[in-house]
Amino acid sequence: MGFIPPTSFAWRVWRCLVRTQVAFFATPATPPAVDVLKLCDLPSPFPGVVNEYRPTILIDLTESEETLLAGLVPNTRKVMRQATREGITVQSVTPLTEEVWNAFLAAYWKLWHRKQKAGALGIGQIRDLIAQDLFELTVSRNPEGHILSWHAYVRTPERARLHTTISDIDPLRDTKWNNMVGRAHRLHHWQDMLRFKVEGTKTYDFGGVYRGTDDQEQMNIARFKQAFGGHFADTYDAVIPLTLKGRLALSLVAHISAEARAGGRAAGAHA
Protein backbone atom coordinates (compact mmCIF):
# COMPACT_ATOMS: atom_id res chain seq x y z
CA MET A 1 0.00 0.00 0.00
CA GLY A 2 2.92 2.34 0.63
CA PHE A 3 3.04 5.53 2.68
CA ILE A 4 -0.28 6.85 4.09
CA PRO A 5 -0.38 10.67 4.25
CA PRO A 6 -1.56 12.17 7.56
CA THR A 7 -4.74 14.25 7.39
CA SER A 8 -6.27 17.12 9.35
CA PHE A 9 -7.68 16.58 12.83
CA ALA A 10 -11.17 17.57 11.65
CA TRP A 11 -11.10 14.96 8.87
CA ARG A 12 -9.98 12.24 11.28
CA VAL A 13 -12.77 13.10 13.75
CA TRP A 14 -15.35 13.13 10.95
CA ARG A 15 -14.31 9.70 9.73
CA CYS A 16 -14.31 8.28 13.25
CA LEU A 17 -17.87 9.46 13.81
CA VAL A 18 -19.34 8.99 10.33
CA ARG A 19 -18.67 5.82 8.38
CA THR A 20 -17.99 6.96 4.82
CA GLN A 21 -17.28 5.15 1.56
CA VAL A 22 -16.13 6.75 -1.68
CA ALA A 23 -16.79 5.10 -5.05
CA PHE A 24 -15.65 6.24 -8.49
CA PHE A 25 -17.24 5.98 -11.94
CA ALA A 26 -20.18 3.73 -10.95
CA THR A 27 -22.64 3.11 -8.12
CA PRO A 28 -21.83 0.03 -5.98
CA ALA A 29 -23.95 -3.00 -6.90
CA THR A 30 -25.23 -3.26 -3.31
CA PRO A 31 -25.52 -0.42 -0.76
CA PRO A 32 -22.48 -0.49 1.54
CA ALA A 33 -22.83 -0.65 5.33
CA VAL A 34 -21.82 2.97 5.89
CA ASP A 35 -23.47 6.23 6.94
CA VAL A 36 -22.50 8.26 3.87
CA LEU A 37 -21.75 7.16 0.32
CA LYS A 38 -19.82 9.56 -1.91
CA LEU A 39 -20.09 8.89 -5.64
CA CYS A 40 -17.56 10.51 -7.97
CA ASP A 41 -17.53 10.89 -11.75
CA LEU A 42 -20.79 9.14 -12.51
CA PRO A 43 -21.88 9.13 -16.17
CA SER A 44 -25.37 10.34 -15.19
CA PRO A 45 -26.90 12.09 -12.15
CA PHE A 46 -27.79 9.98 -9.13
CA PRO A 47 -31.57 10.30 -8.61
CA GLY A 48 -33.11 11.97 -5.59
CA VAL A 49 -30.12 14.03 -4.44
CA VAL A 50 -28.28 17.15 -5.48
CA ASN A 51 -25.53 16.32 -8.00
CA GLU A 52 -22.43 18.36 -8.75
CA TYR A 53 -21.95 18.68 -12.51
CA ARG A 54 -18.36 18.02 -13.64
CA PRO A 55 -17.68 18.24 -17.39
CA THR A 56 -14.46 16.59 -18.52
CA ILE A 57 -12.54 15.41 -21.59
CA LEU A 58 -12.10 11.69 -22.25
CA ILE A 59 -9.49 10.05 -24.50
CA ASP A 60 -10.29 6.60 -25.91
CA LEU A 61 -7.12 4.58 -25.27
CA THR A 62 -8.45 1.60 -27.23
CA GLU A 63 -7.60 3.54 -30.40
CA SER A 64 -4.25 2.82 -32.05
CA GLU A 65 -1.24 4.92 -31.09
CA GLU A 66 -1.22 6.37 -34.61
CA THR A 67 -4.85 7.46 -34.26
CA LEU A 68 -4.21 8.99 -30.85
CA LEU A 69 -1.19 10.88 -32.17
CA ALA A 70 -3.19 12.16 -35.15
CA GLY A 71 -5.77 13.54 -32.70
CA LEU A 72 -3.22 15.91 -31.17
CA VAL A 73 -2.97 19.44 -32.53
CA PRO A 74 0.21 19.88 -34.61
CA ASN A 75 1.92 22.22 -32.13
CA THR A 76 1.47 19.72 -29.32
CA ARG A 77 3.14 17.01 -31.40
CA LYS A 78 5.95 19.45 -32.21
CA VAL A 79 6.71 20.43 -28.61
CA MET A 80 6.54 16.79 -27.48
CA ARG A 81 9.18 15.87 -30.05
CA GLN A 82 11.35 18.72 -28.77
CA ALA A 83 10.88 17.57 -25.16
CA THR A 84 12.00 14.08 -26.17
CA ARG A 85 15.12 15.51 -27.84
CA GLU A 86 15.83 17.49 -24.65
CA GLY A 87 15.96 14.24 -22.69
CA ILE A 88 12.71 14.66 -20.73
CA THR A 89 11.60 11.36 -19.20
CA VAL A 90 8.32 10.25 -17.61
CA GLN A 91 7.89 7.55 -14.98
CA SER A 92 5.54 6.27 -12.30
CA VAL A 93 6.66 6.77 -8.70
CA THR A 94 4.20 4.27 -7.24
CA PRO A 95 4.13 2.95 -4.54
CA LEU A 96 4.04 6.17 -2.60
CA THR A 97 6.85 6.78 -0.10
CA GLU A 98 7.14 9.48 2.53
CA GLU A 99 10.01 11.07 0.60
CA VAL A 100 7.97 11.22 -2.61
CA TRP A 101 4.92 12.52 -0.73
CA ASN A 102 6.91 15.33 0.87
CA ALA A 103 8.30 16.35 -2.53
CA PHE A 104 4.79 16.27 -4.03
CA LEU A 105 3.46 18.33 -1.11
CA ALA A 106 6.28 20.88 -1.53
CA ALA A 107 5.41 21.21 -5.23
CA TYR A 108 1.75 21.71 -4.33
CA TRP A 109 2.57 24.45 -1.81
CA LYS A 110 4.78 26.17 -4.36
CA LEU A 111 1.86 26.14 -6.81
CA TRP A 112 -0.57 27.34 -4.13
CA HIS A 113 1.59 30.32 -3.18
CA ARG A 114 2.11 31.20 -6.85
CA LYS A 115 -1.49 31.03 -7.99
CA GLN A 116 -3.50 31.70 -4.82
CA LYS A 117 -6.38 29.97 -6.62
CA ALA A 118 -5.21 26.40 -6.31
CA GLY A 119 -7.88 24.23 -4.71
CA ALA A 120 -7.46 22.06 -1.65
CA LEU A 121 -5.26 19.06 -2.34
CA GLY A 122 -7.79 16.65 -0.86
CA ILE A 123 -5.45 14.60 1.28
CA GLY A 124 -8.37 12.74 2.82
CA GLN A 125 -9.53 11.63 -0.61
CA ILE A 126 -5.99 10.56 -1.48
CA ARG A 127 -5.96 8.42 1.67
CA ASP A 128 -9.21 6.79 0.49
CA LEU A 129 -7.69 6.12 -2.93
CA ILE A 130 -4.54 4.58 -1.44
CA ALA A 131 -6.67 2.34 0.80
CA GLN A 132 -8.52 1.09 -2.30
CA ASP A 133 -5.30 0.77 -4.34
CA LEU A 134 -6.62 3.40 -6.77
CA PHE A 135 -3.91 6.08 -6.45
CA GLU A 136 -0.99 6.53 -8.82
CA LEU A 137 1.60 9.28 -9.09
CA THR A 138 3.78 10.00 -12.14
CA VAL A 139 6.47 12.60 -12.82
CA SER A 140 8.44 14.12 -15.66
CA ARG A 141 12.12 14.90 -15.15
CA ASN A 142 14.86 16.75 -17.01
CA PRO A 143 18.18 14.98 -17.71
CA GLU A 144 19.53 16.23 -14.37
CA GLY A 145 16.71 14.47 -12.54
CA HIS A 146 14.75 17.57 -11.51
CA ILE A 147 10.99 16.95 -11.40
CA LEU A 148 9.24 19.27 -13.87
CA SER A 149 5.65 18.06 -13.45
CA TRP A 150 3.51 15.82 -11.27
CA HIS A 151 0.34 13.90 -12.22
CA ALA A 152 -1.78 12.20 -9.56
CA TYR A 153 -4.44 9.76 -10.83
CA VAL A 154 -7.48 7.86 -9.73
CA ARG A 155 -6.57 4.59 -11.43
CA THR A 156 -8.83 1.63 -12.14
CA PRO A 157 -8.29 -1.16 -14.70
CA GLU A 158 -10.72 0.66 -17.02
CA ARG A 159 -9.92 4.30 -16.44
CA ALA A 160 -7.20 6.75 -15.39
CA ARG A 161 -8.60 10.05 -14.15
CA LEU A 162 -6.43 13.04 -13.31
CA HIS A 163 -6.77 14.01 -9.67
CA THR A 164 -4.06 16.69 -9.45
CA THR A 165 -1.51 18.16 -11.84
CA ILE A 166 1.40 20.37 -10.82
CA SER A 167 4.11 21.81 -13.07
CA ASP A 168 7.25 23.66 -12.03
CA ILE A 169 6.39 26.87 -13.87
CA ASP A 170 8.22 29.63 -12.01
CA PRO A 171 7.75 33.37 -12.72
CA LEU A 172 11.13 34.00 -11.08
CA ARG A 173 12.90 31.88 -13.70
CA ASP A 174 13.54 32.76 -17.33
CA THR A 175 11.33 32.04 -20.32
CA LYS A 176 13.62 29.23 -21.48
CA TRP A 177 12.99 27.27 -18.28
CA ASN A 178 9.24 27.80 -18.26
CA ASN A 179 8.91 26.86 -21.93
CA MET A 180 10.81 23.63 -21.22
CA VAL A 181 8.44 22.86 -18.33
CA GLY A 182 5.48 23.44 -20.63
CA ARG A 183 6.90 21.02 -23.20
CA ALA A 184 7.62 18.45 -20.48
CA HIS A 185 4.05 18.72 -19.19
CA ARG A 186 2.65 17.91 -22.63
CA LEU A 187 5.01 14.96 -23.08
CA HIS A 188 4.06 13.84 -19.57
CA HIS A 189 0.37 13.52 -20.53
CA TRP A 190 1.23 11.68 -23.73
CA GLN A 191 3.62 9.20 -22.13
CA ASP A 192 1.13 8.50 -19.34
CA MET A 193 -1.55 7.81 -21.96
CA LEU A 194 0.70 5.40 -23.83
CA ARG A 195 1.71 3.48 -20.70
CA PHE A 196 -1.88 3.23 -19.49
CA LYS A 197 -2.87 2.02 -22.97
CA VAL A 198 -0.21 -0.71 -22.92
CA GLU A 199 -1.43 -1.78 -19.47
CA GLY A 200 -4.97 -2.19 -20.78
CA THR A 201 -6.60 1.00 -19.46
CA LYS A 202 -9.39 2.02 -21.82
CA THR A 203 -10.00 5.68 -20.96
CA TYR A 204 -7.84 8.67 -20.07
CA ASP A 205 -9.89 11.25 -18.17
CA PHE A 206 -8.57 14.81 -17.84
CA GLY A 207 -10.36 15.11 -14.50
CA GLY A 208 -12.52 18.06 -15.42
CA VAL A 209 -12.55 20.88 -17.94
CA TYR A 210 -13.80 24.44 -17.76
CA ARG A 211 -16.68 25.12 -20.17
CA GLY A 212 -17.26 28.77 -19.25
CA THR A 213 -16.05 32.04 -20.76
CA ASP A 214 -15.41 34.23 -17.70
CA ASP A 215 -12.09 32.88 -16.37
CA GLN A 216 -9.24 33.37 -18.84
CA GLU A 217 -6.79 31.18 -16.93
CA GLN A 218 -9.27 28.29 -16.85
CA MET A 219 -10.02 28.83 -20.54
CA ASN A 220 -6.28 28.48 -21.28
CA ILE A 221 -6.14 25.23 -19.29
CA ALA A 222 -9.18 23.95 -21.21
CA ARG A 223 -7.45 24.70 -24.52
CA PHE A 224 -4.37 22.83 -23.28
CA LYS A 225 -6.50 19.74 -22.58
CA GLN A 226 -8.43 19.99 -25.83
CA ALA A 227 -5.13 19.95 -27.74
CA PHE A 228 -4.89 16.20 -26.99
CA GLY A 229 -8.11 15.36 -28.86
CA GLY A 230 -10.78 13.28 -27.19
CA HIS A 231 -14.34 14.37 -26.55
CA PHE A 232 -16.31 16.29 -23.95
CA ALA A 233 -18.28 14.21 -21.46
CA ASP A 234 -20.59 15.02 -18.58
CA THR A 235 -19.90 13.50 -15.16
CA TYR A 236 -21.56 13.97 -11.80
CA ASP A 237 -20.66 13.76 -8.12
CA ALA A 238 -23.24 12.95 -5.45
CA VAL A 239 -23.27 12.47 -1.67
CA ILE A 240 -25.92 10.09 -0.34
CA PRO A 241 -26.83 9.61 3.33
CA LEU A 242 -27.62 5.94 4.00
CA THR A 243 -28.47 6.15 7.69
CA LEU A 244 -30.05 8.63 10.08
CA LYS A 245 -26.57 9.42 11.39
CA GLY A 246 -25.50 10.13 7.81
CA ARG A 247 -28.41 12.50 7.24
CA LEU A 248 -27.70 14.35 10.48
CA ALA A 249 -23.99 14.53 9.69
CA LEU A 250 -24.56 15.94 6.22
CA SER A 251 -26.89 18.56 7.63
CA LEU A 252 -23.90 19.85 9.61
CA VAL A 253 -21.49 19.81 6.68
CA ALA A 254 -22.28 23.40 5.72
CA HIS A 255 -20.71 24.48 9.00
CA ILE A 256 -17.40 22.74 8.24
CA SER A 257 -14.95 24.25 5.78
CA ALA A 258 -14.44 22.48 2.46
CA GLU A 259 -10.72 22.28 3.23
CA ALA A 260 -11.33 20.44 6.49
CA ARG A 261 -13.73 18.00 4.82
CA ALA A 262 -11.08 17.29 2.17
CA GLY A 263 -8.52 16.39 4.82
CA GLY A 264 -6.58 19.66 4.78
CA ARG A 265 -4.50 21.30 2.09
CA ALA A 266 -1.31 19.93 3.57
CA ALA A 267 -0.67 17.57 6.42
CA GLY A 268 2.45 19.47 7.37
CA ALA A 269 0.29 22.44 8.26
CA HIS A 270 -2.63 20.47 9.71
CA ALA A 271 -0.99 17.61 11.61
pLDDT of the chain along its 271 residues, tens only? 678 999 988 889 989 999 999 999 999 999 899 999 999 999 999 999 999 999 999 999 999 999 999 999 999 999 999 999 999 999 999 888 999 999 999 999 988 888 765 667 889 999 999 989 999 999 999 999 999 999 999 999 999 999 999 999 988 899 999 999 999 999 999 999 999 999 999 999 999 999 999 989 899 999 999 999 999 999 999 999 999 999 999 988 766 655 555 555 433 332 2
> What CATH number is given to the structural domain containing 191?
3.40.630.30
Contact status, residue 160 vs residue 153, Cβ threshold 8 Å: yes
In a domain, 270, yes or no: no
- Whole-angstrom Cα distance, residue 125 to residue 132? 11
Distances 66 to 13, 62, 72, 78 between C-alpha atoms, Å:
50, 11, 10, 15
- The strand ranges marked E within the chain are 20-24, 36-42, 51-60, 89-92, 135-141, 147-155, 159-167, 203-205, 231-241
In a domain, 180, yes or no: yes
Distances 172 to 99, 115, 141, 169, 185 between C-alpha atoms, Å:
26, 13, 20, 9, 19
In a domain, 101, yes or no: yes
Q: In angstroms, how far is CA 157 from the centroid of its own chain?
A: 16
- Per the structure, the complete domain to which residue 227 belongs is given by 56-233
In a domain, 155, yes or no: yes
In a domain, 130, yes or no: yes
Q: Which residues sit opposite 233 in a β-bridge?
A: 56
Please state the length of the chain: 271
In a domain, 133, yes or no: yes
Contact status, residue 150 vs residue 126, Cβ threshold 8 Å: no
In a domain, 6, yes or no: no
What is the tally of structural domains in the chain? 1
- Whole-angstrom Cα distance, residue 215 to residue 90? 30
In a domain, 143, yes or no: yes
